[in-house]
Amino acid sequence: MSETPEIKSAEPVPSQAPTPGMGAPPGLLDRTLDTLRAGWREIAASARGVVGAAPRANLPREDAERLKEQIEACLDGRGGEVSARARAAQLGRTYLALDGQGRRNFLMMLARDFDVDRAAVDQAMATFQTAGDPVSRGHAERALRRALEPPRLRLLTQFNGLPEGVKFLVDLRAELMEMARGEPLLQALEDDLKSLLRNWFDVGFLEMRRITWDSPASLLEKLIKYEAVHEISGWRDLKDRLDSDRRCFAFFHPRMPNEPLIFVEVALVQGMSDNVQALLDPSAPVCDPKSADSAIFYSISNAQVGLAGISFGNFLIKRVVDGLTGEFPNIKCFATLSPIPGFRRWLDRELAERGDSLLSPPEAERIAEAMASHPETGESETDSDADERPVLAGALALPSWHTDDELQKQLRGPLMRLCAHYLTTARASDRRSERAGAAPARALDPVAHFHLSNGARMERLNWLGDRSPKGVRQSCGMMINYRYKLGEIDANHEAYRGEGKVNASSAIRSLGKGGA
């Protein structure tokens, strides 16, 4: 109601959360890092002899060796808990002071030199295999479990006790995800950190809060920065999105009380919305929320890049539905107004492979006739380019095709059919062979996968529901309503996750019958 991961339009999409070294908004991030460094400096200085000479920014080999000794001291617990906490704070401050190459060197050292001790694992396995009685076997099992835990995991856990330490690890993983591509050592470290964060961010630990215009300014500023579906243009726009006929809810973690993890924006309206510009129109009158019969989830944004792959968006939706049902008993329709971010990419691939065979001859003829009278036709390409390009590709290449009444009229039928076919049949695993016993292939569109996983039904496809440049670029301007019917959510979820069944309305299925 991603990409997710996938509401004024609703879904998990790639998060825009600020993270160190990843193009974060400078003002917000700089203040966070300044606070972090200042707080950790005092902790690091609280134990005598902990703070040494700072390494150079690029962390050359000799500096890395000294840092390695510092890490070993952290793991040994020399000097008690106060010293261990101080050393962890100093390590964190050291990492934040490094440049990109220095951070990579730091993480490579952590991945390489503080991995599982294979010899200790072999010895523990041998002891386990020869254990004769239940008591000995129990001791051997526990010893093997300890041997399989890499020392770096214990080091990372120490940051949990520092102010903003969990946020530091979340942002650290965001950087690590980028660095780990094609580097097995760093990938193993990233897997360890993801496992740690998944345990800490179990949904049972999370608190759902409503965000209002009276919330702290620092939190409202983060909403503007983190919004990943429909950009918030400023404070006035944000105020409109928090008006009396709107709701915004977010999940928070007790160790990150001022950082939203994921948030959802909801419009309380009459009827199921079909156009996001109308929903976001600042001049539209404010409705009485008590008269609303529909709750439209138009935006879901994952605020923390470092929590990618740790899913709790579905739990947020269900809690919001429960809360709104209690507050507004007249609301009977819970639905999204969602983007279709993967459609245009899929269509471009299909056009490259199949060209105008995607269209019927009458469709191709009518589109070609409409293009002939369009003022932009032929302005930026040679005659040979126009002759070789499929007619549908040529029409979509015209920047203002969606504002030309005749052209968009002729494109509507074919594009709606192709989009319905894409949503109901395209699978993410189409290009790999199915393994025996493997889970059913997921929907190719990430937003569709998110909502189908949560038990929604594809309800209605909306022509030119998003005329923004982003909407036209991603999905030819189309949007979709996913509907959450409270009595069907669990059954839909099981059918999709267990059998790969896409639950769609008869209207969408009829649209897609012509196929591609």
Q: Is the pLDDT of residue 103 over 90?
A: yes
Tokens of 197: 């964060």
pLDDT (0 to 100) of residue 34: 64
pLDDT (0 to 100) of residue 100: 93
**Residue count (the chain):** 516
- Taking a C-beta distance cutoff of 8 angstroms, is the pair 501, 495 a contact? yes
- Taking a C-beta distance cutoff of 8 angstroms, is the pair 128, 137 a contact? yes
pLDDT (0 to 100) of residue 290: 94
SS3 content of the chain, % helix, strand, coil (to 5): 55, 10, 35
300 backbone dihedrals φ, ψ, rounded to 5°:
-125, 125
For 321-376, the pLDDT digits (tens) are 999 999 999 999 999 999 999 999 999 999 999 999 999 999 999 999 999 988 87
Q: Is the pLDDT of residue 437 over 70?
A: no
Mean pLDDT (the chain) is 86
CB atoms within 10 A of CB 322: 12
Distance CA 255, CA 202 (A): 13
Tokens of 134: 């239940």
Distance CA 412, CA 274 (A): 15
Asked about 338 being catalytic, the answer comes back as: yes
Terminal C-alpha separation, the chain: 28
pLDDT (0 to 100) of residue 222: 94
pLDDT (0 to 100) of residue 45: 67
Residue 282: exposure state from Cβ atoms within 10 A (0-12, 13-18, ≥19): exposed
pLDDT (0 to 100) of residue 237: 96
For 237-259, the pLDDT digits (tens) are 999 999 999 999 999 999 999 99
For 15-67, the pLDDT digits (tens) are 333 332 223 344 444 555 666 666 677 677 665 554 557 899 999 999 999 89
pLDDT (0 to 100) of residue 46: 63
Q: Is the pLDDT of residue 12 over 70?
A: no
Q: Is the pLDDT of residue 233 over 50?
A: yes
Which candidate in 449, 451, 453, 475 is catalytic? 451
Which candidate in 83, 338, 453, 475 is catalytic? 338
pLDDT (0 to 100) of residue 338: 96
The whole-number average pLDDT for the span 483-501 is: 91
What percent of the chain is modeled with pLDDT above 90? Answer: 68
| CA-to-CA separations, 378 to 248, 354, 383, 392, in angstroms, rounded | 46, 23, 7, 14
Per DSSP bridges, beta strands 457-462 and 262-269 are unpaired
Q: How many CA atoms lie within 13 A of 253 on its CB side?
A: 22
pLDDT class for 516, splitting at 50, 70, 90? confident
Long-range contacts of 143-151 (CB under 8 A, 24+ apart): 147/116, 147/117, 147/120, 147/121, 147/123, 148/116, 148/121, 148/124, 149/116, 150/114, 150/115, 150/116, 150/192, 151/75, 151/114, 151/115
- Taking a C-beta distance cutoff of 8 angstroms, is the pair 466, 9 a contact? yes
| DSSP characters over 470-508 | HHHHHHTT-EEEEEE-TTTHHHHHHHHHHH----B-HHH
